[in-house]
Chains A and B, each alone.
Chain A
Amino acid sequence: MSAPAPPIAVINVSRWYGNIVAVNDISFALGPGITGLLGPNGAGKSTMLHMLSGFLRPSAGELRVFGESAWENPGMYRRIGLVPEREAVYPFLTGYEFVLLAAQLQRLPNPEEAARRAIAMVELEDAAGRATGGYSKGMKQRVKIAAALVHDPEILLLDEPFNGADPRQRLQMMAMLREMAAQGRTILFSSHILEEVERLAEEVLVIVAGRLAASGDFREIRKLMTDRPHTFNVRSSDNRTLASALVADPSVYGVELQDGLLQVRTGEFAAFTMAIPGVAREAGVSIYELRPTDESLESVFSYLVKR
């Protein structure tokens, strides 16, 4: 007997728009649990989610949901819940009506009960009778999530679900997603915020410039990110003296003096930041400014791509 198809299988998928490659030869398979799709803005996360949700045809490769093609397959929406990134909802519908609409279109046997249950899951009961046109961004996110899970889907795809949510709402949504994952559901959510993914995802897919830069256990990837080479810009009372003192420190593997600025390269972020105050003190130099130059998420991602 053959093994059952994984909930999500992406095989050598590419998608391009004219000359622009949005997703470049990506493969992965996802099973139950929470997976974070991480990458800077414009990396191809939404394109990947749109392809998985059947709203974009891959230019090459295959996307399979429970073994079936995701493209031109409306039947798969019985098993998938989708939370799009755009905050648009029907402004004339109340929150309850919006979720009820989703339940009715799913042809659930008791749509009213399912809508009430989904609204309770996102803790939106108090605002359920109000028109969604007057909702805050966070409330719109929650009502969209309620509509996506009203039919109890096996797969939940969420595009930047925490946008606009306040910290308490974030925690509540994260707890709810964890609970759903514990029940055996496959949850894939995209985010450009490292900390968000770190707090929620067990597995992570890092997409940079359309390519899969890293995938697997988040802690391993986080370690790679932390241990990568770092560059610091230093301004001090005597850059030359400080440079010669720093070269002797084992955490430093390069210094450069230019335009009144000392640039220091280190392979150990924590060890260097601990060592530099002592080194400066011993050399009799005052530090005016110490600034890492490559702390943007983009630089972390591009480091992963180069490896």
Chain B
Amino acid sequence: MNGVLIRLTARQLLGQKRTVLLLLFALVPVLIAVLYRVAGNDEPQRWAASALNARLIIGTFLPLAALVFGTAALGSEFEDGTAVYILSKPIPRQVIVLSKLLVSWLATAGVVLAATLIATSIALWGEPQDGILAGFALAVVAGALVYCALFMWLSVLTSRALIVGLLYVFIWEGVITRLFAGVRFLSVRQYTLGIADAVVDVPARVFNPRLGEMEAMVLAAVATVVTLYLAVRRLRRWEIGEAS
């Protein structure tokens, strides 16, 4: 890790308009949870686990936040040509990737965790928690790391990381994984839900992820290590574009 790079990346990410938009977007799960409670619906545990957390937060908000921060941490510098000021320094490439990952992970986890804690607390107000709040809090922090590593690798790999990332989230994870159960091993969303299951203590009718907790944790760790390795390898051999 490099403190100078961490501070630089934090200033970069915090100063972007998309960060402000993301913070506003973080209010959406909270507002939906408030509406749910006001409407006085039944089965708050099932709604909080399967609809609010699994579908809205882990299915949409978490990958979008990770996509924004994960691709911007390094990708925006490739885009505007400032990457050359970092890469022309005697810094091991793994230090650059890890420093950038740390910031994007903390930013993603911070925003999503806050939304998860507030929205879930509202949804389960006066109801038994049964590990739902803690389980999904742990899951979004872990999922943020895997997603950020994946999207950072994409940003080093292609200048269209945002588009590729959106296709991954909405087509691969949103459609393909649902249609073909066999590809759940290649879905960060399924790893995240599986990790939540390590703490969430509710019947399968309320929340039933497709991956077991151990499988999910191992696959999440492997995915993080592999994508980080690929990002470092790619950065070592990064070539400046003719437009750069």
Judge whether A56 and B91 touch: CB under 8 Å: no
Contacts A55-B84, A55-B238, A86-B244 given; indicate if A106 touches B4 (C-beta within 8 A): no
Main SS at interface, chain B: loop
Contacts A17-B242, A90-B8 given; indicate if A72 touches B237 (C-beta within 8 A): yes
Judge whether A53 and B88 touch: CB under 8 Å: yes
The stretch of A73-81, A199-207, A266-274 that contacts the partner chain: A73-81
**A104 on the B face (CB < 8 A):** yes
With the chains together, A90 CA to B80 CA distance in Å?
A: 9
Interface size of B by CB at 8 A reads 27
Judge whether A102 and B85 touch: CB under 8 Å: yes
**A303 on the B face (CB < 8 A):** no
Residues of B within 8 A of A46 (CB): 242
Residues of B within 8 A of A89 (CB): 82, 85
Shortest distance from the beta carbon of B16 to any chain A beta carbon, whole Å: 10
Residues of B within 8 A of A64 (CB): none
With the chains together, A77 CA to B242 CA distance in Å?
A: 21
**B182 on the A face (CB < 8 A):** no
Judge whether B240 and A50 touch: CB under 8 Å: yes
Contacts A57-B237, A92-B15 given; indicate if A101 touches B90 (C-beta within 8 A): no
> Which of A49-71 touch B at CB < 8 Å?
50, 53-57
**B81 on the A face (CB < 8 A):** yes
**A147 on the B face (CB < 8 A):** yes
> Which of A15-38 touch B at CB < 8 Å?
17
Judge whether B88 and A77 touch: CB under 8 Å: yes
Q: Count chain A CB atoms within 10 A of each CB in B81, B86, B93, B240 and give the residue with the most.
A: B240
With the chains together, A54 CA to B11 CA distance in Å?
A: 28
Residues of A within 8 A of B4 (CB): 101, 104-105
Judge whether B12 and A105 touch: CB under 8 Å: no
B70-104 interface code vs A (CB 8 A; 1 in, 0 out) = 00000000001110111111111100000000000
Residues of B within 8 A of A17 (CB): 242
Residue ID in chain B nearest A22 by CB atoms: B242
Judge whether B240 and A80 touch: CB under 8 Å: no
Residues of A within 8 A of B242 (CB): 17, 46-47
Judge whether B244 and A57 touch: CB under 8 Å: no
Q: Of B5, B11, B89, which is within 8 A of A102 by CB?
A: B89
Shortest distance from the beta carbon of A82 to any chain B beta carbon, whole Å: 5
Shortest distance from the beta carbon of A47 to any chain B beta carbon, whole Å: 8
Shortest distance from the beta carbon of B231 to any chain A beta carbon, whole Å: 15
> Which of B1-33 touch A at CB < 8 Å?
2, 4-5, 8, 11-12, 15
With the chains together, A260 CA to B89 CA distance in Å?
A: 62
Residues of A within 8 A of B8 (CB): 90, 101
Shortest distance from the beta carbon of A269 to any chain B beta carbon, whole Å: 36
B217-244 interface code vs A (CB 8 A; 1 in, 0 out) = 0000000000000000000111110101
Judge whether B84 and A82 touch: CB under 8 Å: yes
With the chains together, A217 CA to B145 CA distance in Å?
A: 57
**A210 on the B face (CB < 8 A):** no
Residues of B within 8 A of A106 (CB): 89-90
**A194 on the B face (CB < 8 A):** no
With the chains together, A227 CA to B145 CA distance in Å?
A: 66
Shortest distance from the beta carbon of B86 to any chain A beta carbon, whole Å: 7
Judge whether B12 and A92 touch: CB under 8 Å: yes
Shortest distance from the beta carbon of B243 to any chain A beta carbon, whole Å: 9
Judge whether A55 and B81 touch: CB under 8 Å: no
A-B residue pairs, 4 tightest by C-beta: A88-B81, A86-B81, A55-B240, A105-B89
- Which residues of B line the A interface, CB within 8 A? 2, 4-5, 8, 11-12, 15, 80-82, 84-93, 236-240, 242, 244
- Can you list 27 A-B contacts (CB < 8 A)? A46-B242, A50-B240, A53-B88, A54-B88, A55-B88, A55-B240, A56-B239, A56-B240, A57-B237, A72-B237, A74-B87, A75-B90, A76-B90, A80-B88, A84-B81, A84-B244, A88-B80, A88-B82, A90-B85, A92-B15, A93-B11, A101-B4, A102-B85, A104-B4, A105-B4, A105-B86, A105-B89
For the complex with contacts A55-B240, A74-B90, A88-B80, 11 further pairs of A-B residues with Cβ separation under 8 Å are A57-B237, A72-B236, A74-B91, A74-B92, A74-B93, A84-B84, A84-B244, A86-B244, A90-B8, A90-B85, A147-B85
